[in-house]
Structure 1
Amino acid sequence: MMQSLHTASTGMLGMQLQIDTTANNIANVNTIGFKKSRAEFADLMYRTMEYAGTATSDTTQSPTGIEVGLGVRPTAVNKIFTEGSLKQTDNPLDISITGNGFFKMELPDGTEVYSRNGAFKRDQNGTIVNSDGYKLIPEIVIPEDATDVSIGTDGTVSVVQAGQTQATIVGQINTTAFINPAGLHSMGDNLYVETDASGQPVDGTPGQNGLGVIRQGFVELSNVELVVELTDLITGQRAYDANSKIITTSDEMLQTVNNLKR
């Protein structure tokens, strides 16, 4: 079999992964707190027919050698945690992080998860939860008679209750940082869980020790840039077409060889 058939097939599979990744980015362009992904590739091993430096005579040697590549392979689909644009909503429980950090929440089974999506609500008990009802950690309860909710840049949550003029602090929103956020495991619903690659979570007060500050009344939009993604989509499609052309050409060459006996 001609090596080009296998080499081109690895290229087609690689471009399929890139297009799948790009498609997911585009599909989530309006997902609050979504972080885009980037497919990364590396060339495969080489078939060495002659090593560079091989003696070609008593006094000369090959300056380059002969090496033929065997294709491409995916090495990673990397999450890019650059900040998205902020959108003002004026909803007192919509909050965003300007800078480094994640919101920590707890699943019903006790698993701790992390997210950049700060579109929070109150449940039937007044507890601050996300759209799926997962509690923000540390747990914060807004009194039923609260007439105003204020969240400071340091995460301090204060409320003014009916019949009062002074604000009362009811909780503190902390954020969490990871040494390698790209190592977090994406579990869908804008949630991540820690892994050995992400490092241990480090909780802290927003605005301190490198953590970003809290902005009330804003949500963080997706960091997907449509122009870039559409360009990548076209590039991936053209590369896929080119690799398929290689397979067609190789097939025609084999057909020519088969016809030599006639």
Structure 2
Amino acid sequence: MTVLRAGELSKIYEGTISTRALDNVSFALEDGEFVGIMGPSGSGKTSLLNVLATIDEPTTGTVTIRGRNPHELGSEEMALFRRRELGFIFQHFNLLDTLTVEENIVLPLTLDGAPVARMKQSALELARRLGIEDVLGKYPREISGGQMQRTAIARAMIHRPSLVLADEPTGNLDSKASRDVMEAFTMMNVEEGTAILMVTHDAFAASFCHRVIFIKDGRFYNEIYRGENRQAFFQKIIDMMSLLGGDTDHLSQVRL
């Protein structure tokens, strides 16, 4: 079943000089797919994610999630739709410093008024699977970057959204933490069957995806599929980024 459909999306930012950030981008995401979005700086990746996440409005085109266009909803209905259908993971984690790890994880359920016992049980189950059970009572400042991002993954998944949108989730992590986070992503994608769309500049992170869509100058450029061999997929990603003008020299020694 199609979870997300982007139909001829365009985004123009008006100003002294108008900027076309997206130019008729179309693609679809199916149940259980893990898809990466890549492209050089300024290609429109962030603009695309913001439109899909309902943070920004498209100038033209449509976004449908589970058959509904959230951009046609009123503000209250859109907020509810975003909270129940979407999960968000950011480069800078966006955890609340005044809440414990457990309290951060259950935040979407808290906003929905879920029973406390259910929230605590759901948080514990997710934390065990993500390897952060031992830090549930700690605050974000007391845990590592990798643990913070796994907390963010748990928060994004706890309400079983239709779609998780991730923006550079490994951007602030070292190589070991990046691997741990991407393996956590893969586990949750497989076990929960949740569709994930991830914007990244990191070929290593992208190699965990089922396919990667490349955009350039706001337009769909190409897409490649992983298949069985992740090493070969990783190399294809590097080759494609080289064609697009990305800096990939430092990636040649990355070990998968």
- TM-score tier by shorter-chain length is under 0.3
Task: Kindly indicate which of the two structures has a greater share of residues assigned to helix.
Answer: 2
Mark the structure with the bigger radius of gyration. 1
Q: TM-score with structure 2 length normalisation?
A: 0.20
Q: TM-score with structure 1 length normalisation?
A: 0.20
